[in-house]
Amino acid sequence: MEYEPISVGEALHSLPNCEGNQCAETVVASATAPCMPVGTEMSMPRRRYQRGRLISRGKRRKVWIGIFREDRVQTDGTLHRARRTVVLGAVKHVTKLQAIEAFRPYLDAVNLVAIPKPKAGRTLSRLVEEWESSVAPTLKPTTVRAAKSHLRTHIIPALGEMSLTAITTRNVQAFVSALTAKGLARKSVENILQTLAGLLKTAKAWKYIPEVFDRAALSLPRSGEKKEERFFTAEQVRRIVEASEEPYSTLWALISITGCRAGEILGLKTGDLDFEKHLIRIRRTLDHATRTMQAPKSKSSSADLPMPGVLEKRLRTFLATHWRTNEADLLFANSKGKPMQRDKVAYKLQDTLRSLGIEKAALHAFRHMAASELLEHGASPAVVTRQMRHSDSRITLQRYSHIVGDAQRRAVDSLAGRVLSS
């Protein structure tokens, strides 16, 4: 295996406390000598912290180029240190400081401390195996599916062979930078970190490690431009309800008035409709992948919602004339008496939208419409939070911050009158 030569000047530059040739002999010796084997492990080239190079290249259109080295595993198991270059933007549009900032995630990724597979102790991959057999069966299927996706796609390839004690805040920061370099959004990175932190909290509870990395100390990618979530207007929902046949017509009316999630509506049973107290009880949700009933998304999601008189009348008519009898007593069931498939319900919605000339939207657009209409017509954030069953009112304010409600309009109109009155 070849080792990357390091010049005396470059080595001296990496040691800020050395002056002149004071450390030259020591540096040359350390730069040219390969690492000694440890036990039966293969000798590895010495890794050094990379600062990389930033240059501008091109005649007609100059661009910033970042240059660094990257270790690549060959088919025979050896490492080859390859030279990599990345284009960071046009000099005309990107300043040098911006180019340096864009280059940093690539350097952080290759500077991730390489930890050889330990001869004793647990690696993250081994912890995952224990987690899958002991912890995963106790979690909701949706939680397990998301965690396994994060593990398979991102966490195991990068950190799987590390010992648990080596997963420090510094190494996790480098992992975050590598995810950022792949183009992942901040929210995606946060979700992956939540999975990793959950695993390590389990390891701490099992006394495998003394502490978990500090999430507050991590630098995460900046949030990109926030796209407004597509949602219906009340008039569009009215058209959708009128144009649909049963059971979809009542399903659209119920999901839009209550603001429930699709799985919660498909999990409703006739016993959840309390016509005496005028309430709709949300107690379960249908998991779309397994088509089994699960507990709602959170503790706050299990709640009683008001049943308006016009909705009560529609539900009574539906039960009397269109409801399909089934063993599970489901409010909405297919022809076989089984829970309706969420995908087929979504396809039916798309067919209806196309026939009406309404822009394509997901089932969640009904829930978003309900919250938006409530806020826009004067409902307080606290009321909307209870109806949407968010765990925290901050979630409501963040998700629907673009809604300008009646109270806000009146306040701004009053201010404008005082400022601009003649």
- Verify cis geometry, omega within 30 degrees of 0, for the bond prior to 247: yes
> At CB < 8 A and 24+ separation, what contacts does 372-381 make?
372/231, 372/400, 372/403, 373/234, 374/259, 375/400, 375/403, 375/405, 376/403, 376/404, 376/405, 376/406, 377/405, 377/406, 378/405, 378/406, 378/407, 379/405
Q: Considering only the C-alpha atoms of the chain, give the largest distance between any 2 of them, rounded to a whole number of Å.
A: 94
Torsion of CA 187, 190, 191, 197, to 10 degrees: 180
What's the CA gap between 201 and 192, in Å, rounded? Answer: 14
- The fold of 124-217 is DNA polymerase; domain 1 (1.10.150)
Instruction: Report strand pairing: 303-306 vs 79-90.
Output: unpaired
Taking each helix axis as running N to C, give the angle between helix 169-181 and helix 186-205, from 0 to 180 degrees, rounded to the nearest 10: 150
Between 308 and 114, the more confident residue is: 308
Beta-ladder partners of 330: 269
Mean pLDDT of 374-381: 83
The structure tokens 């593990």 sit at 151
| Residue 252: per-residue pLDDT | 96
CA 64 remoteness from chain centre = 31
What's the CA gap between 335 and 337, in Å, rounded? Answer: 6
- pLDDT category at 195 given cuts 50, 70, 90 is very high
Residue span(s) of the chain under CATH 1.10.443.10 come to: 234-399
Q: How do residues 291-326 score in pLDDT, each as one tens digit?
A: 888 888 888 888 999 999 999 999 999 999 999 999
| Residue 82: per-residue pLDDT | 82
How many CB atoms are closer than 10 A to CB 365? 23
User: Do residues 65 and 55 lie in contact, with contact meaning Cβ atoms separated by under 8 Å?
Assistant: yes
Between 292 and 35, the more confident residue is: 292
What's the CA gap between 65 and 57, in Å, rounded? Answer: 7
Contacts of 240 (CB under 8 A, 6+ apart): 232, 252, 349, 352, 353, 356, 358
Put simply, whether the predicted model's pTM sits higher than 0.85 gets the answer: no
DSSP secondary-structure letter at 333? B
| Residue 127: per-residue pLDDT | 94
| Residue 40: per-residue pLDDT | 35
pLDDT over 80 (residue 8): no
User: Do residues 371 and 382 lie in contact, with contact meaning Cβ atoms separated by under 8 Å?
Assistant: no
Taking each helix axis as running N to C, give the angle between helix 234-243 and helix 342-356, from 0 to 180 degrees, rounded to the nearest 10: 100
Between 60 and 356, the more confident residue is: 356
Mean pLDDT of 216-245: 85
What's the CA gap between 36 and 38, in Å, rounded? Answer: 6
Mean pLDDT of 43-56: 69
User: Do residues 123 and 164 lie in contact, with contact meaning Cβ atoms separated by under 8 Å?
Assistant: yes
- pLDDT category at 14 given cuts 50, 70, 90 is very low
How many CB atoms are closer than 10 A to CB 408? 13
pLDDT over 80 (residue 37): no
pLDDT over 60 (residue 102): yes
State the first-to-last Cα distance of the chain, in angstroms, to the nearest integer.
84
Average pLDDT, the chain: 81
Of 178, 15, 46, 160, which Cα lies nearest the Cα of 107?
178
Of 161, 193, 195, which Cα lies nearest the Cα of 176?
193
Q: Does the structural domain 234-399 have CATH classification 1.20.1440.230? A: no
- pLDDT category at 47 given cuts 50, 70, 90 is low
| Residue 228: per-residue pLDDT | 65
- pLDDT category at 224 given cuts 50, 70, 90 is low
Q: How do residues 163-194 score in pLDDT, each as one tens digit?
A: 898 899 988 998 998 898 888 888 999 999 99
User: Do residues 115 and 159 lie in contact, with contact meaning Cβ atoms separated by under 8 Å?
Assistant: no
DSSP secondary-structure letter at 155? I
Residue span(s) of the chain under CATH 1.10.150.130 come to: 124-217
Between 7 and 289, the more confident residue is: 289
Mean pLDDT of 347-363: 95
